Amino acid sequence: MSIMSKRNLLDASTLTADRTYTTDVVIIGTGAGGGYTAEVLTKAGLKVIMVEEGAYHTAKTFSQNEAEATAMLYQQGGAQKTKDKGIVVLQGRCVGGGTTVNWTSSIRTPANTLKHWREHHGLKVFSDDELAPYFTEVEKRLNMNPFEEFEPNANNSILAKGCAALGYEWHRINRNVNGCANSGLCGLGCPINAKQSQMVTTIPWALDNGAMLISKARADRLIHDGQKISAVEITALDTSAVNDTNHKITITAKHFVIAAGAMRSPALLMKSQIPDPSSMLGKRTFLHPVIAVAAEFEHKIDGFYGAPQTVNSHEFLWPKQTSKNPNDNKMGFKLETIPVTPMLAGAFFDKGIGKSHASRMKSLPHLNVIDALCRDGFNDTEACGTVEIDSNGNPTLDYPITQTLIETARNVIDKVFEIQFAAGAKTVSAWHIDNPKFTTLKAAKSWLKTADLGLLKGMYGSAHVMGGCQMGKDEKSGVVDTNGRHFTIKNLSIHDASIFPSSTGVNPQLSIYATTLRNTKNLTKHLT
Amino acid sequence: MDTTPLNLRRRSFLKLSGLGLFSLVGGGYIAARLTDGTAKALLPKATNLSPASQQMLLKIFDAILWDMMPKEQDPLLLTSAIATLDKGISALPPAIQKELIGLLDMLTFAPSRFALAGRWSGWENASRDEVSAWLIALQTSSFELRRLIYITMHDISTSSFYANPQTWSLVGYNGPLLHGPGPEV
Ligand SMILES: Cc1cc2nc3c(=O)[nH]c(=O)nc-3n(C[C@H](O)[C@H](O)[C@H](O)COP(=O)(O)OP(=O)(O)OC[C@H]3O[C@@H](n4cnc5c(N)ncnc54)[C@H](O)[C@@H]3O)c2cc1C
Ligand code: SF4
């Protein structure tokens, strides 16, 4: 008998009638926050039902083909963009959410970020030590360790080499893997279960210990009386997990944990007309906007093989304000790499046609791509993002390309050009609709000085959506308290990236896990 | 440096279909109903793409990807990319499916194509040079909507093309190192 047949699973597309369930806690979404919550609550002896909009794929059904995998595992089949279409936004949509498709970088929340939360948002509880025991526990549970089994691939080594040549800080990245074969296609789901996503760790543990999982099921509305939620209404999707069926599922529970990710958690509260005394619901969404630069090298890089992210640089993450730049509002950024696979390079990065497109793609094995994650949400001149519900009832994110973002991008591209040439690049190209390519640093910089990096000229991406249900010190300054509990609705918690009051500044999964673990442990004290 | 955030109230948003494009072409047409009904289907069974859209995409994909192709396989690789796109559209949320299909219908429709710079008499008569010039005009346009159409055409063609493992050797990629299916946990 397969393991799956012993578990309490419901694929909602198979329903032939409406269903109702009663449980202690229902968790909406099974990503970093939802999966971890399920294990901790189940361990505490609570009856848990997990609800997931995406399908339940495992190594048995993953595809190593980029187009197939993005259609199966990503929000909007990988086509999600901000409202003005200026930023491509990648999020997981499957059991395990973003953790099933992420690139395994495992980094603690920086002390400077926690300091900002204390000083600018009044979240005094987040002392430097507050999360330390939770980081340690998560790192052990998910095998987050220095990755010493293999040397960084050539794509990552170029970042290290360029930084070293210019005297910039760089270091290797911890990863949440066990028995990694260094194949490189983490973004398509790990075919050997080496990646310690929620799909292979906490979710199976919770299922094997009595929790239930309903997949292809979208939570649409929380039924409440302004103080307490009584039930959640769910629409069953069809086999493709794309279209609605006529069947509904209603779950009544003592407590409701929303972990639908930082666009859909605020959207669910907005659609349910959950009280919003701070008016912060759906406001201040952060993306860690990604700026990317490609370079061509004489030697082979094969950037499609090898663990995708093993080296990063925090040299520019916390720029010092000097007397020369007292009003410098540019965002700080960290540097890392993007795997150079045919679809990411050919469709996501490249923007040329004919000879221009082909000349880039024929050099694919010689391409390196370095990207910056911009630390958004720390600066008053940023607009950040706002979640809206469109006329079809779907969430969209309005995240304008501000002057602050444009000047940050110019700064990033300038630094990365220097790093790539210092590492021996033959040509460099910014991610831009004009598909520019330069053979000298001088020519590249001269283009950059006046290049239009505005909407649909400069290209921007994101794989880290945060905020929208931010923690506050009281109901006037945030949607939830520092335990993720909603200020007004007593049996509602938010356990995902949406509770952050700024971006984390580094890849967020460990920050989500640690805050979730802390908040779930606190929650169990009230529920058991 | 100008650090003023954008004035959110003054921004307008692009829509691929509907008002955005209609206003661009002068409004009022029901494009999908007026497209070329005589176009021959490339795909024996298509779920989402009309025969006219398939013929148009063949021209557009060719203009974007011609230099990637080993000569003898040209039509097959492009038709296969169009089939991948047809299938891929079904995996998109219904609202995006509608938007994309609406855009394609509108581009097959002469008045809107004219407004977007293509002056040839029908997609079947367009030369590669003409379609390339049209794409470059969109790419370099000062109108955001036109650039968005360019990016959409570029991205749907290339993502569908590189989905086919037969194209991987053309870019020096030997395919995934690991193959499924792996064990369920
Ligand atoms: C390609 C990629 C690479 C990444 N690489 C890294 C990395 O290397 N390191 C790192 O730290 N971070 C990485 N991230 C980011 C990280 O994975 C995410 O930040 C994290 O998974 C977010 O966790 P979450 O709990 O907020 O939401 P998610 O993980 O996004 O989970 C939310 C889940 O809720 C489901 N859902 C949404 N709405 C509903 C609804 N109404 N009803 C039911 N279910 C719903 C979604 O389908 C999804 O499965 C990466 C992300 C991507 C996309
Ligand atoms: S590099 Fe390959 S084996 Fe290692 S975690 Fe990623 S997908 Fe799995």
A69 CB within 6 A, ligand 2: no
**pLDDT confidence band for B119 (50 / 70 / 90):** low
**DSSP letters along B126-146, please?**
--HHHHHHHHHHHHT-S-HHH
Least confident of A175-184, A513-522, B67-76, B113-122: B113-122
Domain A146-186+288-462: which CATH number of 1.10.3470, 3.30.410, 1.20.50, 3.30.980: 3.30.410
Distance from C-alpha of A438 to C-alpha of B76, rounded to nearest angstrom: 34
Tell me whether residue B127 is in a domain: yes
A237 → chain B, closest CA residue: B93
**How many domains in chain B?**
1
CB contact burial A140-155 (16+ within 10 A = b; e otherwise): ebbbbeebeeeebbbb
The candidate with the shortest Cα–Cα distance to B165, out of B174, B178, B156, B154, is B174
Tell me whether residue B25 is in a domain: no
Domain edges within chain A: 8-56+94-102+107-141+197-281+470-527, 146-186+288-462
A471/B120: higher pLDDT: A471
Q: What is the pLDDT of residue B109?
A: 78
Domain A8-56+94-102+107-141+197-281+470-527 = CATH 2.40.420.20: no
Least confident of A120-134, A240-254, B39-53: B39-53
Mean pLDDT, chain A, integer: 97
- Above 80 in pLDDT, residue A33? yes
Tell me whether residue B14 is in a domain: no
pLDDT average, residue stretch A264-270: 98
The counts of H helices and E strands in chain B are: 7, 0
**pLDDT confidence band for A325 (50 / 70 / 90):** low
- Above 80 in pLDDT, residue B111? no
pLDDT, tens digit, 9 for 90 and up, residues A76-118: 999 999 999 999 999 999 999 999 999 999 999 999 999 999 9
CA of A185 to the centre of ligand 1 (A): 17
* Nearest-CA distance A35 → chain B (Å): 14
pLDDT, tens digit, 9 for 90 and up, residues A194-225: 999 999 999 999 999 999 999 999 999 999 99
Distance from C-alpha of B126 to C-alpha of B133, rounded to nearest angstrom: 11
**Is B141 touching A (CB cutoff 8 A)?**
no
pLDDT average, residue stretch A360-387: 94
pLDDT average, residue stretch A299-305: 98
Distance from C-alpha of A346 to C-alpha of B161, rounded to nearest angstrom: 9
Q: What is the pLDDT of residue B175?
A: 97
The pTM for the full model equals 0.96
CA of A175 to the centre of ligand 1 (A): 17
- Above 60 in pLDDT, residue B159? yes
ipTM: 0.96
Tell me whether residue B158 is in a domain: yes
pLDDT average, residue stretch A304-332: 85
Q: What is the pLDDT of residue B177?
A: 97
**pLDDT confidence band for B105 (50 / 70 / 90):** confident
Q: Which of A13, A27, A53, A72 to mutate to test the pocket of ligand 1 (most atoms within 8 A of CB)?
A: A53
DSSP element (H, E) containing A68 = helix A66-73
pLDDT average, residue stretch B22-36: 44
User: Around A240, how many Cα atoms within 13 Å sit in the side-chain half-sphere?
Assistant: 15
- Above 70 in pLDDT, residue A49? yes
- The pLDDT > 90 percentage for chain B reads 59
pLDDT, tens digit, 9 for 90 and up, residues B57-80: 999 999 999 999 988 777 899 999
**pLDDT confidence band for B15 (50 / 70 / 90):** low
Q: What is the pLDDT of residue B5?
A: 38
Q: What angle do CA A28, A236, B181 make, to 5 degrees?
A: 80
